[in-house]
A and B are shown apart, each in its own frame.
Chain A
């Protein structure tokens, strides 16, 4: 399992997502970004036993896919954000049953109403049939009520921070579903959905991406074009808890391991995928660890650098089924499925058992 497995998409691609609702297997969705060709959504499965990556389904998609997100409760439902030649939009799709042998996706709903180019969609982490969706365009964020069965969608809230903020990314806080974080050119903002007001903000953080710590409340990571990755505590926004060197050029994506908050995955435009450990900050904040462990904190936080890609890596996704498996997608359409090195996994397991 040390070597990675590769899968090629015909066209350029930016987004890859884990099918979170599928608990049986490790499945990823990849959306292509081809201006002049018919775009595709690839459903690819990683087999842990053979280490192979295989295509499970290939579906056509009319437009370029700029963002793709999976429904957290139904493995067949996902959303895409698309734009092509001045046209833009966002839709929720259902993958057709395997038996139907069709490559046409079933459109469940259109998130219409955006006036600017839509940047991303994020599903509320604990939704059921009546799920909530967050969609972000450059100037406003929308919260939608989605009824999957009735295929209806309604705007629940619209918050417009202003023209000055070019928002690029948004995310639900997994620990407080009334809080949404948005990333814009110059700052990170936190919105309270109850009051529709800004709760906190992190000024002058030039970030591309933000990811909440799935295990520990208040913590999140940002990555930006200053290439460093920063770990923050929402309660202490004055200064970052940790700074990682990131990538040689921009750091495009950063994601916590879903099971272990000490492991962080990042991808950058220097075509690398880096695996980091941030155990040191949790040692500090927990305060429970003995000082003998502290030398570890000063060790190189970079656990491993995966250099299988040859172009900028815009998409990374951890598997939920196998928490040490992740997929990365480079602009030239290559998906690589890699795993956290075995000795690191052992270390982490020993650490959690010991602690």
Chain B
């Protein structure tokens, strides 16, 4: 049954909805339907019943009609029941709606009375409240007034109580309360202090004065705990008390205390000279200890200060920076003993201190950039150290040179014997200094590299550069100095303008010194530089982080080249100095006598002795300093040209071709040339070597050549010529001792003799017997005088 009802209601709903909704659809589709199939369009509006009937009748047979009829009757029945149902439904709904409306009507009627009652009550409340308000209005102002007065009175009471309270606080040392109270009362006291509360103000001011004093003393007192002091300072600050003053006092005190430590360090450096001699380790370790002390003190002070004066950071940083700078300065000073070489150990210690302790300081005072300062200081110390070490070597060498120069003068006053070899010892000394000194320095500096202090890795390349540059500088300085000395002996001082400073203290440089320098230059080039290069290569590699514009680091080849050039110049200069000296002697001997009125020669002239003495001195000098060199005689293979009395420098000869000599001229010269052809060919101007032989014989060759030239400028009588003959004959034997190559002496002296003969009006030579007699007489005389000297 239930299903039946349900399906029924559903059907009803469908119908209703089709009734209301489909109307439009049917209206639209109806025209086409009518036309096409009227039979089908029974549900449309335009359904024509008659036409439907006729068409139905026409098309359908009887059975069909009957069936249709049945169908239709059923449909009609259905439709009827549906309609009935719909009507019923509609009615139901209408009924319920009516019921609802009626109920609503009843409810509203009950509410109205309630609302009216409410209104009444509200009106009553209002009137009552109005009444209360009106009655209270008068009193209210008065109460508020009274309330204010009460507060005021309380405050006044507080102010009046202030001195008492402060006193209490003072007694109980509760300064914070005192300050708070005072600060609370302060506006009133300020406003009425001069009038109503005068006494009160005075009293409380006094009290607060006392409090301030107490606080002050507490703040300054170093025995108080940091917290107490900090509180005191804070309170003082609240009281507008000038805290800066206390701060400064505090700082000054701290500074003084720390400076004491610094002074100790300084003292230590002053005493370091003595200490270093007695016990080597103590001063350094003391520095270490002192530095440690200093740093701990400093840290303490810093933290104390921080605690006490949290606002004074800036000032403190300033003071600390100053202090630290002082510290660095004194540390640096302590590194430099007044004499003697600073050693790397001290430097290492200090660098360690700087690299380990200073970062701690950084922790205390990050603003001050101490590590930056320390880095700078350390770098400066490094530079200073390296420079100092090299300067030490350089100074020693220059000292040697000066000694050499001075000793030379004394030597010329009292001719020393062969056994004394001052120059040789000086040379050895100098060689030792340059080599050992430099190597020592390098080793010493090496310690620093080996002993890798924390930050030295950063400095490593810098340091290597410094060291290399130092070596380079050392050599360059030496070289310049040598050249300066060379210039100061140059006969025209061609660099006068440039080296005015040098000229002020210009010293006459002796020949020995020049030779010493020449030899020394050679030594530097041959031995010292390679060894030092080796040492550097072993210990100081790297350091290539230099810009190209900077000074080049140690370049051994350049140094070698420099010193070779300098050595050659110096030795040439030595030769020219010596030969000039000897030439002057010869010149005097040749130009002063009046050869035309010369008397018959009786003995060898004095100048020969002088000449030999000079040659002797020179040869001693040379023998002390130079290698002996090879002994060689001039053979045919040595000479480069054809017959010649004086051949040219073989170097120069290469540049020019032989000039062709015409046959005619040759025939005229033939006679003289043939005579020369039979003489041994002699190379006068040979290439110079750094040997005794080469140097001595070059000097002698040059001066004998000068002898010849001077002789050519004179005109001799027979006696004059004979005198020259005697002199040269004596020289022949005497010079043999000095020159290893006799032939050249013979040749040159022959040239002198023949020149004299050419310039002689009557060139009759002495007979050899007479000549021999004179020579023997001279020899005997020399032997005698040397014998008397010996005894």
Contacts and interface: CB of A to CB of B under 8 A. Distances in A.
Interface of A: 2-8, 10, 12, 35-36, 52-53, 83-86, 204-206, 225-227, 230, 238-240, 243, 248-250, 269-272, 274, 302, 304-308, 310-312, 331-334, 336, 338
Given A10-B668, A239-B494, A243-B494, 8 more contacts: A35-B761, A205-B492, A230-B494, A248-B684, A269-B709, A310-B673, A310-B676, A331-B712
B665 A334 contact: yes
B118 interface: no
Contacts of A271: 644-648
Contact of A307 (B492, B596, B656, B712): B656
Given A3-B659, A8-B665, A230-B492, A272 B705 contact: no
30 contacts: A3-B657, A5-B662, A36-B761, A84-B715, A85-B715, A204-B492, A225-B580, A225-B583, A226-B576, A238-B496, A239-B494, A239-B496, A248-B649, A249-B646, A249-B706, A270-B646, A271-B647, A272-B652, A274-B652, A302-B655, A304-B655, A304-B656, A305-B652, A305-B653, A306-B659, A307-B652, A307-B656, A310-B644, A310-B645, A333-B669
A240 B645 CA distance: 33
Nearest to A203: B492
Contacts of A305: 648, 652-653, 655-656
Nearest to B667: A8
Contacts of A36: 761
A239 B649 contact: no
- Chain B, interface size: which category? 35 or more
B701 to A, nearest CB: 9
B765 to A, nearest CB: 16
Nearest to B576: A226
B643 interface: yes
B568 to A, nearest CB: 12
B665 A6 contact: yes
Nearest to B668: A8
B421 interface: no
Given A35-B761, A205-B492, A306-B656, A86 B662 contact: no
A307 B653 contact: yes
Contacts of B491: 204-206, 226
Nearest to B651: A305
B659 to A, nearest CB: 4
Contacts of A272: 648-649, 652
Given A225-B583, A270-B685, A85 B644 contact: no
A227 B573 CA distance: 12
A334 B665 CA distance: 8
The winner among A226, A248, A308 for most chain B CB atoms within 10 A is A248
A15 to B, nearest CB: 13
B760 interface: yes
A270 B660 contact: no
Given A84-B715, A226-B580, A332-B669, A248 B596 contact: no
B708 to A, nearest CB: 8
B502 to A, nearest CB: 13
Contacts of B644: 271, 310
A5 B760 CA distance: 32
B77 interface: no
A247 B638 CA distance: 21
A304 B654 CA distance: 10
A3 B656 CA distance: 11
Contacts of A274: 652
Contact of B661 (A35, A85, A230, A308): A308
Given A226-B580, A238-B496, A270 B760 contact: no
A8 B659 contact: no
A30 to B, nearest CB: 13
Nearest to A52: B662
A210 to B, nearest CB: 14
Given A12-B758, A269-B709, A332-B672, A248 B648 contact: yes
Ranked 9 nearest A-B pairs via Cβ: A4-B659, A308-B659, A8-B668, A248-B685, A8-B665, A6-B665, A3-B660, A305-B652, A6-B661
Contact of B658 (A84, A308, A311): A308
A7 B583 CA distance: 33
A226 B492 CA distance: 10
Interface string B293-322: 000000000000000000000000000000
A305 B651 CA distance: 10
A270 B684 CA distance: 9
B760 A249 contact: no
A249 B685 contact: yes
Given A7-B665, A204-B491, A305-B653, A35 B758 contact: yes
A308 B653 CA distance: 10
Contact of A250 (B494, B497, B643, B709): B709
The winner among B492, B596, B644, B706 for most chain A CB atoms within 10 A is B492
Contacts of B648: 248, 270-272, 305, 307
Nearest to A311: B645
Contacts of A310: 643-646, 673, 676
A7 B667 CA distance: 11
Nearest to B702: A249
A271 B659 CA distance: 14
B213 interface: no
B13 to A, nearest CB: 118
Contacts of B649: 248, 270, 272
Interface string B591-608: 000001000000000000
Given A239-B495, A240-B492, A250-B706, A8 B646 contact: no
B759 A334 contact: no
B652 A6 contact: no
Interface string B677-707: 0000000110000000000000000100110
Given A240-B494, A248-B648, A332-B672, A4 B702 contact: no
B457 interface: no
Nearest to B686: A248
B659 A336 contact: yes
A170 B94 CA distance: 163
A45 B492 CA distance: 41
Contacts of B496: 238-239
Interface string B618-657: 0000000000000000000000010111111100110111
A336 B660 CA distance: 10
B313 to A, nearest CB: 60
A335 to B, nearest CB: 8
A334 B492 CA distance: 34
B764 interface: no
Interface string B340-364: 0000000000000000000000000
Contacts of B596: 85-86
Contacts of A338: 659
B557 interface: no
Contacts of B712: 312, 331
B493 interface: yes
A20 B580 CA distance: 37
Contacts of A205: 491-492
Interface string B703-726: 001100100100100000000000
Nearest to B653: A307
A85 B760 CA distance: 9
A39 B19 CA distance: 173
Interface in B120-167: none
B660 A4 contact: yes
A170 to B, nearest CB: 17
A89 to B, nearest CB: 14
Contacts of B668: 8, 10
Nearest to A303: B655
A27 to B, nearest CB: 18
Interface in B487-501: 491-497
Contacts of B702: 249
A2 B658 CA distance: 10
Given A5-B662, A204-B492, A239 B497 contact: yes
